[in-house]
Amino acid sequence: MQKLMYPNIYYILTVLLMAPVSAAGVERTNSSLRFIKNVYRSTMGDERFNALMLLYIHIPVDYEMVVNRFSQLHPRKMLLSQPLD
């Protein structure tokens, strides 16, 4: 399609190609918002809430590293590698 021959159609197609294909990112953000609001909202301020939202949405969590760090910080707690032994 020639840009000079159909400028309006060219513009519409350009805008459509820039639009996201799905709303998965928005749905994921709303899901995380609901989770954080329900679980932690009553005990924190707006600054902490915003920081938690940014962390929850943008930073993947390495759960093994979290468990290892917790076990190093609290050596008197139950062994996390074998909790039933």
Convert the pLDDT of each residue in 19-61 to its tens digit.
766 666 677 777 777 776 676 666 777 787 777 777 777 777 7
What are the boundaries of each domain within the chain?
43-77
CB 32 within 8 Å of CB 50: no
- pLDDT in the model for residue 21: 65
Q: Which amino acid, residue 36?
A: I
Q: Report whether pLDDT(85) > 60.
A: no
- pLDDT in the model for residue 8: 87
- pLDDT in the model for residue 5: 78
pTM of the complete model:
0.33
Instruction: Tell me the longest C-alpha to C-alpha distance in the chain.
Output: 76
Convert the pLDDT of each residue in 57-74 to its tens digit.
777 778 788 778 877 887
Please identify which residue in the block is written with the tokens 């139950």.
78
Separation CA 83–CA 68 (nearest Å): 13
